[in-house]
Homo-oligomer: A and B are copies of this chain.
Amino acid sequence: MVSPAGRLSIVGLGPGALPQITPEVCAALQQATDVIGYVPYVERARALLQAQAVADVDAIRFHASDNRVEIDRSRHALALAAQGHRVVVVSSGDPGVFAMASAVLEAVDHAAPAEAALWHTLDIQVLPGITAMLAAAARAGAPLGHDFCCINLSDNLKPWSVIAKRVQLAAEADFAMAFYNPRSLSRPEGFNRLLALLRTHCEPERLLVFARAVSTPEERLTVCALQDVQPEMADMRTVVLVGNSTTRRVGPWIYTPRSYGRDVVAPGTAA
């Protein structure tokens, strides 16, 4: 029997630090009967609820699963919500950027007919979060302050040829670029290929940011010209930002000017 109180919220926990989680997401978690997600994100949600001294945190069921099981996890969440549970699916960063919002909607889209009748009428909401590239950009200054693109470097879900074409066209468009999942232990060669592409299409002085585990105790930020990049600067906890051709250093910061293809602001004057 489906309760009308059943609800599925797909929420973003931000890059890591609890003070970067929105009050809207906190409220959804406080009302949850079930929290579902990849192991470290479920633990982050539990830490948030414990830090807020939520009275009945022990009454919440936490369902932690491995990564690469996003569709199984989505179907589980949908089934629980259809039974009347208040389910929160947790993603790191923003749920709409290479995360669980697409996975849940894919599961709805590909539901068997009996499931579809229930799932299409569910109360589903997506609650945004601070995505890793914007947390990383903030730490570095403003490297994404002009037009940019965002590419998932994992080739689990698309062929490398698609990635290569997109990087080439993004460089031709002179977008700043943000790369998620740049380098896994099992497939380190993708990032080497990316560097080769960037070295073909961008000047050696192009500025990059390697932002690892931003906002956590393991945070490490490296700003580096393309000619000085070493592949080991990236791992799966790193977001890599590539400036456009106008990106500049100022003091400890890097930024991409707002103007492009016109005169820059003269020193000491207002624009």
Contacts and interface: CB of A to CB of B under 8 A. Distances in A.
Interface of A: 14, 17-24, 27, 69-72, 75, 94-99, 101-103, 105-106, 108-112, 115, 120-121, 124, 126-131, 134-135, 137-139, 141-152, 157-159, 161-162, 165-166, 169-170, 172-175, 248, 250-251, 253, 255-262, 264-271
Given A22-B130, A70-B271, 15 more contacts: A19-B22, A69-B270, A71-B270, A96-B142, A98-B258, A101-B142, A126-B137, A126-B139, A129-B134, A159-B262, A161-B261, A162-B260, A162-B261, A166-B173, A169-B170
Contact of A250 (B108, B127, B257, B267): B108
13 contacts: A20-B23, A20-B128, A21-B22, A101-B138, A102-B142, A106-B255, A108-B253, A110-B269, A112-B268, A147-B151, A149-B149, A157-B258, A159-B262
A43 to B, nearest CB: 19
A248 B106 CA distance: 9
B148 A149 contact: yes
B21 A112 contact: no
Per assembly, the copies of the chain total 2
A99 B256 CA distance: 11
A152 B147 CA distance: 6
Given A19-B23, A270-B72, A261 B148 contact: no
A157 B262 contact: yes
Contacts of A137: 96, 101, 126, 128
A19 B24 contact: yes
Nearest to A256: B102
Contacts of A98: 145-146, 258
A168 B130 CA distance: 29
Contacts of A71: 265, 269-271
Given A112-B268, A158-B259, A20 B19 contact: no
Contacts of A24: 17, 19-20
Contact of A145 (B75, B101, B159, B250): B101
A141 B267 contact: no
A102 B148 contact: no
Contacts of A121: 251
Nearest to A270: B72
Contact of A251 (B72, B115, B120, B141): B120
A175 B152 contact: no
A60 to B, nearest CB: 20
Given A134-B94, A138-B126, A169 B162 contact: no
